[in-house]
Amino acid sequence: MLDPQAKYLLELVKASGLPPFHRLSPAEARETYSKRKQATQAIPAPVAEVRNLTMPVQDGALGLRLYRPDVATGSPAPALVYYHGGGWTIGDLETHDVLCRDLALQSGCIVIAVDYRLAPEHPFPVAVDDALAAYRWVRNQAGALGVAPDRLAVGGDSAGGNLAAVVALLLRDAGELLPRLQLLIYPATDMRCVAPSHTTNGQGFLLTADTIAYFRQHYIPDAQQWSDWRASPLLHPNLGGLPPALIVTAGYDPLRDEGRQYADALSAAATPAQYICFERQLHGFVTMGKVLDEANTAVTLCAQVVKRALRS
């Protein structure tokens, strides 16, 4: 059954009369997403340091935000490079601020959130390029950031989980030092959207097939590119030799099955993978700790896996 707290949340959303994202312009969807977080996210927890950073990219600059959980001791600290969700179209550093603080505090690791450029203004593969560039920038600036370059992880939720998985593949294919962990929270892994849960969970559970199509149209309007493994990491011909992964999914999520398929494909290729499904939850639940108790459980689980992976 659907978690009673999740069911109540769905009832509140329905009663609010708010239009779904796919009926809004990208600008309106971003504003709505930002406002909605106030109803579902807890008060941001204090951390020792929050620092806004900027890195150069072609035709502009990216914002990043560093969360340091403890007072610096002088020794380099492990770090998680985190990519927010939002269908590559919405979301930013603010929408995932609470989550990043909680991950930092509970893992004892630095978290560096990446404000990659969004579609439709910046369609595929700009987000991929930004995500890879940000990881490399953190590694190259490790000394200035107080980060241990050999104790890094990548992670993200939904679209951000997609980007984290693709970054790991790109780094492996380039022969670079790999992250120690992939934290993939209900990741999008197959842009063809053919897994059964896209049908069984396609309507009525917050993220709908209509909204997925809306995000996909903005991010990758050319259907021929849906099979590009940089968009659909599940379709990469070689998923071996990658960092260990934790894949977390939700039972009432259209993306559930492709998350499990990715975990199975990693395992089949001898890449260590753990898979956990919160069977009674909705897509996006991890950021909703104010109203969903299982969100807090999931964050604690993710943080402990990060902590174990990045310990010296």
| Residues labelled catalytic | 158, 253, 283
Q: How far apart are CA 149 and CA 207, in angstroms?
A: 36
> CB-based contacts of 131: which residues, under 8 Å, 6+ apart?
83, 114, 116, 163, 164, 166, 167
Residue (of 163, 168, 160) closest to 238 by Cα position: 168
The 10 Å Cβ neighbour count of residue 244 is 17
DSSP string, 55-112: EEETTEEEEEEEEE-S---SS-EEEEEEE--STTTS--TTTTHHHHHHHHHHHTSEEE
Across the beta sheet with 273-282, the strand order is 49-57, 60-68, 110-115, 77-83, 147-157, 182-185, 245-252, 273-282
Q: How far apart are CA 285 and CA 305, in angstroms?
A: 18
Q: Are 271 and 70 in contact (CB under 8 A)?
A: no
The 10 Å Cβ neighbour count of residue 176 is 13
Q: Are 61 and 311 in contact (CB under 8 A)?
A: no
Tokens 């996210």 map to which residue? 41
How many angstroms separate the most distant Cα atoms in the chain? 52
